Chains A and B, each alone.
Chain A
């Protein structure tokens, strides 16, 4: 718990300022901790007099950390294809493994994986642990979690990374639970702490309003998921050498109480805004579903896909798969045109890695302008039609 030293506290209120959760307040010259405290430690850092400490209960049975070594990436394979995020993870995984001076391995689970192992090696893996069985063709939580857990227990990697995809987010938490391991979701940066080699996992928290760096100090493996398009894959190198280790499965591992009746590829693929090079994105400033129609015309002219802020999705103008941001998708298109989006931090968290950002907003003080490369202050109903005309004109020239 968070302890306040009555002797040291001078009631200066620095802690109050620093707390992201409004959980500490100065009452009668003394800091008082409220029930919403999450023990994040922001106040401890801010407290110049050093009056705040986080007191921990004794831990029992800590893992022997030195028994665990190596970096693993879960390679997601579905319907004959590797998920691009797996290759991106090999990119960051390579850096982490090299810093630690340990090998990088990929854990490939699926059926008829073809040359996927080759691709993983070409993108940076030293070893591919392959678990292949027809029973793993369709994704089911239980067998995937069972085979992954068994492999991790056997080879004891210190770090396990997975893509924050539908599949990764579904079974990786189960694996972490079975291993009693710490798991950090949606990391945007991963690094090795110099003094003890621990994995520094940085992720947005509280709707992206603060960034938090997280470590697992006393347990292994250290597990993290990363969203697609956050990390960069290495260029494929056909000459790279690596080893493929085939792992056996047991009937028990492959058993599942969940039965997949049908796998439908649909709508979601058509609106995969993460794959788009250009996104035209609409926010509350569009005022109405009609305003959205204007946006679609701009997207058509640009050959872009349409995305939206959460407010617009909540208003029902466009379905959820189009949502960009902390609770939607993270996108990194070449061009992102934000129309009538105020730039709430949770939205910005989902699009700030776009190559070029254009913001069009009526409010000159909208925070979106602070992340934009180009900004136009004006009314969408005036600016967008003019922009459409101008682009068509440029095209014809």
Chain B
């Protein structure tokens, strides 16, 4: 379908597609099997200027919006959402700086992010603060001209690989949600370390670790925005990034459909290719409907967010939940179409099915997304 992309957007798609076909797909099985972080591929992405897509032009980027980044990660997702997650989570760590950072902070970090020299991560989740972010235990206390951080973040994407960590910490427990702030911790800061890499069901190319702060001292100017605005920035960050997760889902679903359809044309049973059987055709048709409708919603939501940055929560949640549910369904059906072969590790669809599950869980579970949508509806109809 024609989504009326601009010339620059079409260029982004072309580059991301070529990179996915030539640099990601040939290596995805190995990265998955060896739980290997795709440093070489990220270097190629940097060389192709793709890290600069959402960075404002003033800081060496291309000033792209939510749609531009969605187009990029959709392609990566078609190849491997482990790799796509590493790329996308980088911006999760950088969005707070773009949204709320001071001019000096932007100048310090963004040009290096745009060229891929520095890589980001977002430290929100903790053992007792998942869907309920208000349970955060990590604290930051001002001591002279330094903040002192203590606490442990859990399941942080790009942990151990990033140089810039946007960490959510409580700076004033008495103020409840208004007592949280975001601080930038850099790789090598005293008292900051990362735990061992977690073993995961899927997206094994991405790195997931704990972030451990033991009297971690960082300069006072690492505070992002004003003290106590942490949660607002977190919400804006997630609203901005969720269409990207939806786009990863669209990409994964497209990749699974491609595999299943190609296989169904080639696989012969009862004397004809199995795509000739209506049972298979209908499954493929439903998969195709899912992919296209998810894509349409993600692109529409991303365009809406780019045009109306103040009212993005509902559309952002909708496209994330829908596209990732589609991804799970399509990946599962792709395995079914391919039967025993689909279940074998020689074909990529079993990995896609394992990978797809995380899309429904991270960046707010799809249940939480529905809460957000429900609350918005409640407001709209009041």
Interface residues of A (CB under 8 A from B): 287-291, 315-316, 363, 381
Contacts and interface: CB of A to CB of B under 8 A. Distances in A.
Contacts of A316: 26-27
Contacts of B266: 363
17 contacts: A287-B346, A287-B347, A288-B29, A288-B345, A288-B346, A289-B29, A289-B30, A290-B29, A290-B345, A290-B346, A291-B346, A315-B26, A316-B26, A316-B27, A363-B266, A381-B344, A381-B346
Nearest to B22: A314
Contacts of B347: 287
Interface string B162-200: 000000000000000000000000000000000000000
Contacts of A363: 266
A221 to B, nearest CB: 44
**Chain A interface SS verdict (over half):** loop
A362 to B, nearest CB: 8
Q: How large is the interface on B (under 10, 10 to 19, 20 to 34, 35 or more residues)?
A: under 10
Contacts of A288: 29, 345-346
Residue of A290, A291, A315 ringed by the most chain B CB atoms within 10 A: A290
Closest 5 CB pairs of A and B: A287-B346, A288-B346, A315-B26, A288-B29, A316-B26
Contacts of B30: 289
A287 B26 CA distance: 11
Given A289-B30, A290-B346, A315-B26, 14 more contacts: A287-B346, A287-B347, A288-B29, A288-B345, A288-B346, A289-B29, A290-B29, A290-B345, A291-B346, A316-B26, A316-B27, A363-B266, A381-B344, A381-B346
Contacts of A290: 29, 345-346
Nearest to B30: A289
A287 B345 CA distance: 10
A289 B347 CA distance: 11
Nearest to A287: B346
Contacts of B26: 315-316
Contacts of A289: 29-30
Contacts of A381: 344, 346
A289 to B, nearest CB: 7
Contacts of A315: 26
A289 B29 CA distance: 9
A287 B351 CA distance: 14
Interface in B45-85: none
Interface string B13-56: 00000000000001101100000000000000000000000000
Residue of B27, B345, B346 ringed by the most chain A CB atoms within 10 A: B346
Contacts of A287: 346-347
B79 to A, nearest CB: 14
A245 B264 CA distance: 69
A294 to B, nearest CB: 10
Residue of A287, A316, A363, A381 ringed by the most chain B CB atoms within 10 A: A287
Contacts of A291: 346
Interface string B265-301: 0100000000000000000000000000000000000
A288 B345 CA distance: 9
Nearest to A316: B26
Nearest to B29: A288
A316 B344 CA distance: 21
Contacts of B29: 288-290
B298 to A, nearest CB: 31
Contacts of B27: 316
Nearest to B267: A362
A162 B356 CA distance: 58
A287 to B, nearest CB: 5
Interface string B235-270: 000000000000000000000000000000010000
Interface in B328-363: 344-347
A287 B344 CA distance: 11
Nearest to B27: A316
B102 to A, nearest CB: 45
Contacts of B345: 288, 290
B262 to A, nearest CB: 12
A75 B344 CA distance: 53
A291 B347 CA distance: 11
B330 to A, nearest CB: 21
A371 B175 CA distance: 80
A382 to B, nearest CB: 11
A127 to B, nearest CB: 53
Nearest to A379: B341
Nearest to B345: A290
Nearest to B266: A363
Nearest to A291: B346
B309 to A, nearest CB: 43
Contacts of B344: 381
A302 B45 CA distance: 43
A113 B196 CA distance: 62
Nearest to A381: B346
A316 B347 CA distance: 17
Nearest to A362: B266
A107 to B, nearest CB: 44
A317 B220 CA distance: 51
A380 to B, nearest CB: 10
A298 B29 CA distance: 23
A218 B335 CA distance: 64
Nearest to A364: B268
Interface string B211-224: 00000000000000
A381 B344 CA distance: 11
A286 B346 CA distance: 9
A363 B29 CA distance: 24
A201 to B, nearest CB: 37
A287 B350 CA distance: 14
A291 B344 CA distance: 12
A315 B21 CA distance: 11
A121 to B, nearest CB: 51
A296 to B, nearest CB: 16
A363 B266 CA distance: 8
Nearest to A315: B26
A289 B30 CA distance: 8
A343 to B, nearest CB: 16
A363 B263 CA distance: 12
Nearest to A365: B268
A172 to B, nearest CB: 34
B218 to A, nearest CB: 42
